Structure 1
Amino acid sequence: MSAQDDVDDVGEFAALLRALKERTDRSYGSLARRLAMNTSTLHRYCAGEAVPVDFAPVERFAALCGATPEERLELHRRWLLAVAARRRPRTASAPEDEPDTAADPPPLPRRPWYRRRRVAVGLAAACALLATLASLSVLPDGRRPAADRAPTAGPLASGTTEAKAPDRSSPSPTPSDSPATEQPSASATPKKKPSPAPSARTTAPPRSGRKPAAVPLTWSANSQAWKLGCGHDYVIAKPPRQVPPPPAPQDAGTWAATQGAVHGGETLVELSVQGRSDTAVVLNALRVRVVGRTAPAPGNAYAMDQGCGGAVTPRSFDVNLDKDRPIAHAVAGSDTGVPIPAVRMPYRVSAEDPEVLLVTARTVTCDCLWYLELDWSSQGRRGTVRIDDAGHPFRTSGIKGLPQYTYDTLARQWTPDS
């Protein structure tokens, strides 16, 4: 997939938005107010400068402009292509002898938006069939004390992974049994260099020589999601004059990696889970493991939002990392006042019925390293997969007491948040 194809996909999606907007006699400001959206955000969508991370605002925009069912279906297809184009790495292209794993996503059937499920985007390692026999016990994080470690880049979207159901009687994993990363990725520890590209992981074969059964599901995790697609804080150990303007949400991974940014106050993880076949896989429980807790990272807190937002609050799982034993609590959402039921476990997925879960982890008092464990069962088999950031824990640091800055678009500089 060439860079020109990516530009065309985003441009065609934006052109379709503009065509719908031109049918009305309303300005961008009038439409934005009706959509509970910032005017500049709507204009950037229509100009092709940004792509919404969720289809809900696009669907409401289409309804407001009087789009037909066929036009809405085409708009959804173009949005999927634009999102995929924005998420592909833009630096170096893949070698000629390697297959293109960023295939265009197919159109999905329409459902009520709060029940719609999106196909997982990170299928880079979907053909890997090897799995680990190691137990998913708490892993040491190996961090140095807060006084002598340097801030690292915020975690990036991880690739699809797979693991074998853990044998609770097995010993703890050894270096030879642990998953190995094939590409560099953003790490929660200072020793790893961040990378904006997702990475895929496979596991070493068991020493017994027997081929383990493949886990019946795949997953991908994007830890660079922003609240309502626009609001987020990063902790960066740099003065304001050395920090560039906030990026578009889809470019947050690259921006955070280059600035050595750490998620400030909270981390939003979009977890996409999908079965490998039409056989149902039941998701039984989602748990949180904190593997490192130190004093909050030093630096300044930089806010990404510019007063944007909307009336839609997605349902999610909320995690308080300051608790001794954090628990993922299901939280209901709302769509312009209409309640959206919380996700209740157990939940069922398959190849035709994927699910996207949003996990919001918060902290005030610590610089925390953490990951998730997802319990599953299918056809008499049970197991647990570890959800992390390309083999490393997610990282979230409190911002209470830090200098806080917002970006002034008119003065083109960071200013203290009064």
Structure 2
Amino acid sequence: MSAAQDDDVQEFAASLRRLKDRTDRSYGQLARRLNMNTSTLHRYCAGDAVPLDFAPVERFAALCEATPEERLELHRRWILAVAARQRSRTAAPPATGGTDGAPSATEGPPDDSPAPVREEPAPGAPAHRPWYRRRRLLVSAAVATALLATLGSLSALPDDDRSRASDSVQGADPTRTEAADAPGPTSTASSKPSLTTPTPSGGTPTSKKSSVKPTGSADSPSKGAGPRQPPAGLPLTWSANSHVWQAGCGHDYVITKAPQQVPPPPAPQDAETWARTQGAVHGGQTLVKITVQGRTSTAVVLEALRVRVAGRAAPVEGTSYAMDHGCGGALTPRYFDVDLDKDRPIARPADGNDSGTTIPAMKLPYRVSAEDPEVLLVDARTDGCDCGWYLELDWSSQGRTGTVRIDDHGRPFRTTSTKGLPNYAYDTSAREWVPYN
């Protein structure tokens, strides 16, 4: 391989190493995500081998969050490296003469042999080129055609489409890298939106998705060094806890069991597990605490919070069990008030109170980031239905907008009326549930 050909391969390998060094992953971790051997990836980055297909290179660039301009430059360097490898393989080594004194393949005929007669082409006929020159022209034409077609198709796409073009061919999700690092099952992660939302009355599930809607399209990159485009994917994370009690102790659950079959009230931190094992439904009120945080230091603006009712049914026929006997402090945090009995419920900001001191209500839009998280408290109430509902949070960041769905681990939140139901509270001295009015 000539020095120029080796330079093409080494420049391609250096581009791969620069992208790899920007991540905090090892060769083994990247290879597992790319579904290839670690040694193979290391040989690509070291310049010992060049992939014959650009698909693994494109997946590698997407995994390293390369910009559209970096992907175009990487594709150009890959084409040159592949062509250099092919030229080095097809170049035949010079033949040497035999040991028996026979003339070598590169030597001319003996002096006493007649010189070969060269046929002149007929007038107007194309000149005949040797096979190796014809092959070199074909390879050059194919490389130039592929480069021009790629540059033309990618430059005609918006930035977001350019960054997702190769992922859609390979069947990959552009947010998969972020989703793999999302929190575990103890919190409801925004990168795993619900696909189906069963209604409380057992009706047909309704398909719902969290949407990310880019706004506008960026111009083609200029010759100068322009600003780096914002990365694709959801710029924020969130978690929701619907088993929050008023002032830390006041809450009602509706359970279709007799008092003798219901265990004592749990500690507030164990409320979710206790409620699920008893098949309990929030009675009359559901308090949802939502923690929202940006993924980076870049600001994300929370634009609006909407309430969606997935279904209404008749209230649950059961018994209302109170988790308190009037305990609690004088602190009432600010919150969003939701009346589920309205035809079109709206999340209205409400003031809080701390021992007579008003806590101003939270007003949207509101800004969050990785260093500036925010906690939203939603207070949803009903007096006349068994309501299934969820929330939609609109956001904007760096010229992009989107909406995330906030629900109860992929299902709608559920709140049922306690009107007309028998009420019980737990008597700690007698260690049993007693009627409570």
TM-score range, shorter chain: 0.5 to 0.7
Q: CA RMSD in A?
A: 2.9
Aligned-partner SS, 1:272: strand
Q: Does 1:254 align with 2:273?
A: yes
Q: Gaps spanning 5+ residues in structure 2: where?
A: 1-179, 204-208, 216-230
Q: Which has the larger radius of gyration?
A: 2
2:435: which partner in 1? 416
Residue 283 of structure 2 corresponds to residue 236 of structure 1: no
Q: Distance in 1 between matches of 2:188 and 2:246?
A: 27
Counting only pairs closer than 5 Å after superposition, residues 29-44 of structure 1 correspond to structure 2 as none
Question: Structure 1 residue 311: deviation in Å?
Answer: 1.1
Contact 1:288–1:372 (CA under 8 A) maintained in structure 2: yes
In the alignment, does 2:198 pair up with 1:141?
yes
| Contact 2:200-2:388 at 8 Å conserved across structures | no
Partners of 1:291 and 1:369 in 2: CA distance: 5
Query: Any conservation in 2 of the 1:280–1:348 contact (CA below 8 Å)?
Result: yes
In structure 2, do the counterparts of structure 1 residues 295 and 353 end up closer, same or farther at CA, with 3 Å as the change threshold? same
Structure 2 equivalent of residue 354 of structure 1 = 373
Q: Does the 8 Å contact 1:376/1:383 carry over to 2?
A: yes
Taking the aligned partners of 2:277 and 2:435, their CA distance within structure 1 comes to 22
CA distance in structure 2 between the partners assigned to 1:100 and 1:359 by the alignment: 24
Q: Out of 254, 257, 273, which is 2:292 matched to?
A: 273
Contact 1:322 / 1:366 at 8 angstroms: preserved in 2? Answer: yes
Q: Which has the higher contact order (CA 8 A, sep 6+)?
A: 1
Map 1:151-230 → 2, pairs under 5 A: 163-166=210-213, 213-230=232-249
**Separation of aligned partners in 2, 1:124 and 1:386:** 11
Find out whether 1:379 has 2:404 as its counterpart: no
The structure-2 alpha-carbon separation of the partners of 1:100 and 1:294, relative to structure 1 and needing over 3 Å to count, comes to closer
Q: Which residue of 2 aligns with 1:307?
A: 326
Alpha-carbon distance in 2 for matches of 1:384, 1:307: 39
Deviations 1:47-68 (A, max 9, x none): xxxxxxxxxxxxxxxxxxxxxx
Q: TM-score, normalised by structure 1?
A: 0.53
Deviations 1:269-305 (A, max 9, x none): 0000000011000001000000110110110000001
Is the contact made by 1:265 and 1:396 (CA closer than 8 Å) also made in structure 2? Answer: yes
In structure 2, what is the Cα distance between the partners aligned to 1:232 and 1:141?
Answer: 25
1:341 lines up with 2:331 in the alignment: no
Match of 1:71 in 2: none
1:394 and 1:325 map into 2 onto residues whose CA distance is 16
1 CA distance for matches of 2:324 and 2:372?
33
SS, match of residue 253 in structure 1: helix
Checking the alignment, whether the CA contact within 8 Å between 1:315 and 1:358 is kept in structure 2 is yes
Is 1:394 matched with 2:436? Answer: no
Summarize deviations over 1:173-206 as a string: whole Å, max 9, x none.
xxxxxxxxxxxxxxxxxxxxxxxxxxxxxxxxxx
Q: How far has the Cα of 1:164 moved from its partner?
A: 3.9
Give the corresponding residue for 2:346.
Answer: 327
Gaps of 5+ in 1: 1-97, 103-120, 147-161, 169-211
1:288/1:327 contact within 8 Å kept: yes
Q: Which has the higher helix share?
A: 2
Aligned to 1:165, the other structure's residue is in SS state: strand
Q: Offset of 1:308 from its aligned partner?
A: 0.8
Give 2:423's aligned residue.
404
Q: TM-score, normalised by structure 2?
A: 0.51
Does structure 1 conserve the Cα–Cα contact (< 8 Å) formed by 2:302 and 2:396?
yes
Residue identity (%): 64
The CA deviation at 1:390 is 1.0
Work out the number of aligned pairs and report it. 238
Assess, with a 3 A threshold, how the Cα gap between structure 1 residues 246 and 225 changes in structure 2: closer, same or farther: same
C-alpha distance in 2, partners of 1:350/1:343?
17
Structure 2 distance, partners of 1:338, 1:165, is 40
